[in-house]
Amino acid sequence: MKYIYLDNAATTRVAPEVLEAMTPYFTEYYGNPSSIYSFAGKSKDAMEEARAKIAGILGAKPEEIYFTGGGSESDNWALKATAEAYANKGKHIITSTIEHHAILHTCEYLEKHGYEVTYVGVDENGIIRLDELEQAIRPDTILISVMAANNEIGSIQPLKEIGEIARKHGVFFHTDAVQAFAHIPLNVDEMNIDMLSASGHKINGPKGIGIMYIRKGVKIGSFIHGGAQERKRRAGTHNVPGIIGMAKAAEIADAKMEERMAYEIRLRDHLIERVLAEIPYSRLNGDRTKRLPNNANFCFRFIEGESMLIKLDQKGICGSSGSACTSGSLDPSHVLLAIGLPHEIAHGSLRLTISQETTMDDIDYTVDELKKIIEQLRSMSPLYEDFVKHQQ
């Protein structure tokens, strides 16, 4: 069966050019970049070139880019190491209610270790409340961490404004840009970003590789202790193929960003318009325009997400849901609850995230199938039965 892959926020296909760029670093130039002989110099040079490419995309200096094992590691590093390094200044951190668990669970960990965290709320479209953010700043605040774009509902946060507020109050600003990096324009200087996390596998690069941008002057220590790699700030033998792959993927994504954004937005908007027009009792989650080009997130009343996903899967369509059954707990997505949705509606959510490989036919097929699936599930839903009886 042909798969229609609409879960690009979960992970993406490694682009053929990316794999091609990586391959020699597995089998030919496999030297450890930390070694002294010239053979290893090939890997080192390629790695430094990769670093410079990524720095260029973010408007950063190459020496401010650190390679990590992925987005979650970068998030953990930013929060825990800042907390530790600046504990003398204060033990207060500000974040948002819609962060990824890599941030939220790290904050919970820090709370158990004597730190205080303020979780700033978002509006009904999933955009952070800037006034609330500024009011939350205290003399002992050391860090503001707000994601660049939300992984579930795609809402793009006002990074420039957040950066200005942080700078004004002398507080560091970290952003989890895992969903945004190389998808939308980001510039660390224009946005006053002090630390930034990004990942390779969300941009048609490989899994298991990420970066952290750390502005010069931010004096955080190492999170992974060991060898002297990454200027003694991140130990562990370099994942050279991963590094090469991530940089290649970022380079391609950056070069084609405008074109790709326009294409994805056209498909996304077609998807949103058709769903809202043709499926009754549906709603779009997240901001209509301030959202990632590839993200659509809906709620369908009276039905539950996992059932919907299984039925979509049987039609070859890969999507995701914020329902409890897919999260492994009894609570639906914290993001959908944060934008004010009641539990029973949040359980019926569906996230579809497209890529440059998605076609208009894929979108039309998906909506056609989705309509049938929702009708089928509603016909067996006691909530729908009650609703219809109430209407009569």
Partner 1 sequence: MYSEKVMDHFNNPRNVGEIENASGVGTVGNAKCGDIMRMYLDIDDNGIIQDCKFKTFGCGAAVATSSMATELVKGKTVQEALQVTNKAVMEALDGLPPIKVHCSLLAEEAIHAALWDYAEKHNIKIEGLEKPVNDISEKEEEEEEDY
For residue 72, which amino acid is it? S
314 binds partner 1 (CB under 8 A): yes
Q: How far is the CB of 109 from partner 1 (least distance, A)?
A: 24
Which C-beta is closer to partner 1: that of 255 or that of 310?
310
Which contacts of 250-256 are long-range, i.e. CB under 8 A and separated by 24 or more positions? 250/53, 250/54, 250/57, 250/181, 250/182, 250/203, 250/205, 251/53, 251/57, 252/15, 252/17, 252/18, 252/204, 253/182, 253/183, 253/203, 253/204, 254/57, 254/182, 256/356
Task: Say which of 107, 299, 318, 325 is annotated catalytic.
Answer: 325
Site string for partner 1, 249-288 (x = CB under 8 A): ----------------------------------------
194 binds partner 1 (CB under 8 A): no
375 binds partner 1 (CB under 8 A): no
Catalytic site residue 318?
no
Angstrom distance (rounded) from CA 234 to CA 106: 18
Angstrom distance (rounded) from CA 102 to CA 83: 15
Angstrom distance (rounded) from CA 339 to CA 391: 27
Which C-beta is closer to partner 1: that of 145 or that of 333?
333
Token couple for 20:
């091609």
324 binds partner 1 (CB under 8 A): yes
303 binds partner 1 (CB under 8 A): yes
Which C-beta is closer to partner 1: that of 106 or that of 307?
307
| Identified binder of partner 1 from the candidate list 37, 112, 382, 392, rule CB under 8 A | 382
Q: From residue 96, how far is each of 130, 266, 349 by CA, in Å?
A: 11, 30, 21
Which C-beta is closer to partner 1: that of 109 or that of 281?
281
304 binds partner 1 (CB under 8 A): yes
| Identified binder of partner 1 from the candidate list 43, 74, 175, 323, rule CB under 8 A | 323
**How many chain residues are in contact with partner 1, going by CB under 8 A?**
24
343 binds partner 1 (CB under 8 A): yes
Going 43 to 57 to 14 to 227, the CA torsion angle's sign is positive
80 binds partner 1 (CB under 8 A): no
| Identified binder of partner 1 from the candidate list 130, 325, 334, 369, rule CB under 8 A | 325
Angstrom distance (rounded) from CA 92 to CA 105: 16
Q: How far is the CB of 337 from partner 1 (least distance, A)?
A: 11
| Identified binder of partner 1 from the candidate list 28, 189, 344, 357, rule CB under 8 A | 344
Q: How far is the CB of 377 from partner 1 (least distance, A)?
A: 8
10 binds partner 1 (CB under 8 A): no
Torsion angle defined by CA atoms of residues 19, 100, 216 and 41, in that order, rounded to the nearest 10 degrees: -20
1 binds partner 1 (CB under 8 A): no
Q: From residue 215, how far is each of 89, 174, 188, 286 by CA, in Å?
A: 19, 10, 9, 31
Q: How far is the CB of 306 from partner 1 (least distance, A)?
A: 4
328 binds partner 1 (CB under 8 A): yes
Angstrom distance (rounded) from CA 90 to CA 84: 10
Cite the active site residues: 325
Site residues, partner 1 (CB under 8 A)? 302-307, 310, 314, 323-325, 328, 330, 332, 343-344, 347, 379-385
